[in-house]
A and B are shown apart, each in its own frame.
Chain A
Amino acid sequence: MPTVLVFAEVREGAVRKVALEAVTAARTLADAAGGGEVHAALVGAAGVGSGAQALGDHGADVVIVLEHPAFARYNPEATTAFVAERLRAGSYRAGIFTSSAQGRDLAARVAGRLAVPVVTDVTSVMFDGDDVAVTHPIDTGKVIATLAIRGTPALVAIRPGAVVPAVRARSPRIEQAQPVGDPGATRVVTTELKVGTSAKLDLGEAPVIVSGGRGLKSAENFRLVEELAEAFGNAAIGATRAVTDDGWRPHSEQIGQTGRLVSPDLYVAVGISGAIQHLAGMRTSRTIVAINKDKDAPIFKIADYGIVGDVFEVLPALTAAVRAARTTS
């Protein structure tokens, strides 16, 4: 039965939701092949091992804990050395990563080190005879490719949000591991991690995204977007490329062809006309709401619910109504 290794991504010492998604994907993969073991690698500074139970809850049979001060921040070279060595030494059929910025970085390095392919941004993974078959959106999500990965280990990185974390609780065996080489003597060093200052949710994880475009007319007016996001309580803020290019919002909030590709449960497009580059980043959202003064704006062609109107009139009304709905429900 196949054993699957998962890299459990951590930020500031805490296991990320995307890591639980990756463990869930690994568990499903192993179970589909008759119930092989899932091993999760948990790498960080002292104390990171406390995240092991959360990984067990989602289906990890073994948690390999590597605690060392040199892993307090992302240490790409030493993490690559450790994960590649594990994959080489253990007879793993597959290695599962998160397709976050960190997971993609690591997965590509490990693949290069092991001289095997990797497919990132994978939306599903399964065994298919001797191959591992994955689905992977290409061409800005306009085409879905089903790819077969030959050979062992098959490395894939799971798109954030593509898998719903599922509880398949077990008490994982904990294995304390040692780094490979001196993790304090790497060439590339992360000197600082700057986490967004506000408590805003991340675009990849938020169930709701409120996104603003040029129709808001100024950076200051994004206050209205922020207020609606706060009213939802579980919303992140996005923006169009025009807005981030103008410096109204940081580039990290840009949704579209060259920015983030998101698919939240609810996407609220405020003052966004719906340029094709923007649609490429959000068209797979489950429900789309559009508010725009131009009834012919392309965004209305894909919006489940459109309101034609002045955003400065509609937005405050919607914010109040959402706030009221959430306090009474």
Chain B
Amino acid sequence: MKIAVCIKRVPVQEGRFTIAPSGTALDEAGLKYDVNDFDLWAVEAALQLKEKTGQGEVSVVSLGPDAVQEQIRKALSMGADRGIHLQTVQRSSDSFVIARALASELAAGGYDLILFGRVAVDAANGATGAMVAELLGLPCVTAVSRLEIGSGRGQARRELEGAQEMMEFPLPAVLTIDEGLNKERLPSLKGIMAAKKKPLEIKPVTLIESRVLVRRLELPPERAAGRIIGEGASAVPELVRLLQTEAKVL
């Protein structure tokens, strides 16, 4: 089975974010980067499928500046077989632009499965995977939290609000992976050493024109500082009074 996993380099979300003087970009000083969480679960899903069938190849694809090679190497150290860096310093907030560039690369790959994370935690749009499926004319299931792949077909469970859907689909297919499908493995020292020798192909790409433009970025209003109203069960009457009279939610 040939599997491609598309991964994104994203800022680690624990840090504080500040807006650059332009007002339309983040101040990148001090930001740390890692592979998007959901994409790690997609990599893990691919590795498990390969291990289960005992054969196949897992390719990791990432688009961006040279720094994304760091994230590709991480996936290779987890056990992916080869990396493809779609190299560009251009950026876009338009998912379709990214989907077009990825689809152009993936079209000729002969992949049985193309996996994405459900959403990138930075851009929070979650559209690229399904768009790539449309561009390639492939079946697609998004937000997959359980997965079975058998002879040329798959079954997936997807997460809705307060419900789940069970879906069936033929291969080749595009899937986006939600939390809950697996826990990603940590790269072993051996894996890290091996990753250095794995092939990483660099392919320069040019993005089409974006039709989504950043007008401005702002920090959300700060919450008022918290307040402790009391200790133990004796504080409950005061809490209920405040919920009724001040917050008016009861």
A contact set with B: CB distance below 8 Å: 11, 73-74, 76-77, 80, 100-102, 104-105, 107-109, 111-113, 115-121, 128, 131, 133, 136-151, 160, 187-196, 200-205, 207-208, 232, 236, 244-245, 251-252, 254, 257-260, 265-266, 276-277, 280, 283-284, 286-290, 295, 299-310, 313-314, 316-318, 321-322, 325-326, 329
Contact = CB atoms under 8 A, between A and B. Distances in A.
B75 interface: no
B212 A143 contact: no
B67 interface: no
Q: How large is the interface on B (under 10, 10 to 19, 20 to 34, 35 or more residues)?
A: 35 or more
A262 to B, nearest CB: 10
A314 B236 contact: yes
Contacts of A254: 179
Q: Per DSSP, are chain A's interface residues mostly helix, strand or loop, or mixed?
A: mixed
Given A77-B139, A187-B139, A111 B96 contact: yes
Contacts of B226: 288, 290, 299-304, 306
B143 A112 contact: no
B249 A266 contact: yes
A137 B219 CA distance: 10
23 contacts: A104-B126, A108-B129, A109-B140, A111-B131, A113-B134, A117-B97, A139-B121, A145-B217, A150-B211, A150-B213, A160-B161, A189-B167, A191-B155, A193-B164, A194-B164, A251-B180, A266-B249, A287-B249, A288-B223, A306-B227, A306-B228, A313-B232, A326-B250
B89 interface: no
Nearest to B211: A150
Given A111-B127, A120-B126, A143 B134 contact: no
Contacts of B167: 188-191
B162 A252 contact: yes
B107 interface: no
